[in-house]
Structure 1
Amino acid sequence: MAKEYKIFISHSWQHSDTLEALRDLINARSHFSATYEESTKDKPINSESESYVKTRLAQKIGNSNIVLALAGVYASHSSWIEWELNKAIDLSIPIVGVVPRGQERISTIVSSRSIIDVRWNTESIISAIRAYAN
């Protein structure tokens, strides 16, 4: 039986279409199984308490085999993405940066924390997950 990977995708809610596109790309790959741990606009952590949100996110990151970080330059302006990546490092969860389609520049918030940064290509992304996931 093939391994099922638990993936946390660190993303900006303002760019949730990129999150969905990445999930679609991964899900379309045959002979690869993934579940997702991140919170989304459709399934948010409903709380005004930053402490509670961080606790829930830490649990989700800790339950993951790998964190994929969308490495668009917008990531450099998100304190939540930076916090999620730092938490992944604290929890020894490997981080792979994924450069959104068409982006030339990438966020140093992501690239300084990732094991590797890959382009928007199914095989590159799947290969990185298989190579680096816990």
Structure 2
Amino acid sequence: MYNLFLSHSWSYKDAHVHLLDLLNLANRFPYRPHWVQRDHPVHAAQNAVLLKRAIHSEMQSCNVVIVMAGVFPLYRPWINEEISLAGRGFEVPKPILLIEPWSSEGTTEVERANADKIVPWDQLEIITALRELEFQHREMSARRTRPLSNSAA
């Protein structure tokens, strides 16, 4: 099961639905999407600390963070926060897949510099990248939890 965190960039309802449709049509790609939904009470509270906790909670069990490049400036602070959290908020960093749905013109330097993979809006490329990133994350997690060998002494 692929546990995927969809960033605030997916607040564009049409893009969000389109991505989920694209993932649903993929063969042998069981996944569970995670995100802080728009109607979550934490959004109404206007409390940055609570929103950050909600994001961390949703991202906790995820293997990959998906970000859509070049969104409205309104969402950039939260997308940057999600990118930061993915890289530094967990013992094993969460890999970031950056999807450029139109062109790379709107892609920020923060997005580009922190993305583990950048792909266009193409089902095969998105699914392939998600599989690769999930595998890398699983390998990194296994290395972190592997007990030390006695022969190293």
Q: TM-score range by the shorter chain?
A: 0.7 to 0.9
Moved more, 27-36 or 7-16: 7-16
CA distance in 2: counterparts of 1:58 and 1:95, whole angstroms: 15
Moved more, 30-39 or 102-111: 102-111
Shift of 1:76: 8.6
Larger Rg: 2
1:47-126 correspondence runs (5 A): 47=42, 48=45, 49-74=47-72, 78-90=76-88, 91=90, 92-100=93-101, 102-105=102-105, 106-126=107-127
Q: Select the structure that is richer in helix.
A: 2
CA distance in 2: counterparts of 1:52 and 1:85, whole angstroms: 17
2:41 paired residue number: 46
| Superposed CA RMSD | 1.9
CA distance in 1: counterparts of 2:65 and 2:73, whole angstroms: 14
Moved more, 112-121 or 12-21: 12-21
Counting aligned pairs with the same residue, the percent is 24
TM (norm. structure 2) is 0.75
Give the gaps of 5 or more residues in structure 1.
none
Shift of 1:75: 6.1
Shift of 1:73: 4.7
Give the gaps of 5 or more residues in structure 2.
138-153
- Number of residue equivalences: 128
CA distance in 1: counterparts of 2:75 and 2:48, whole angstroms: 18
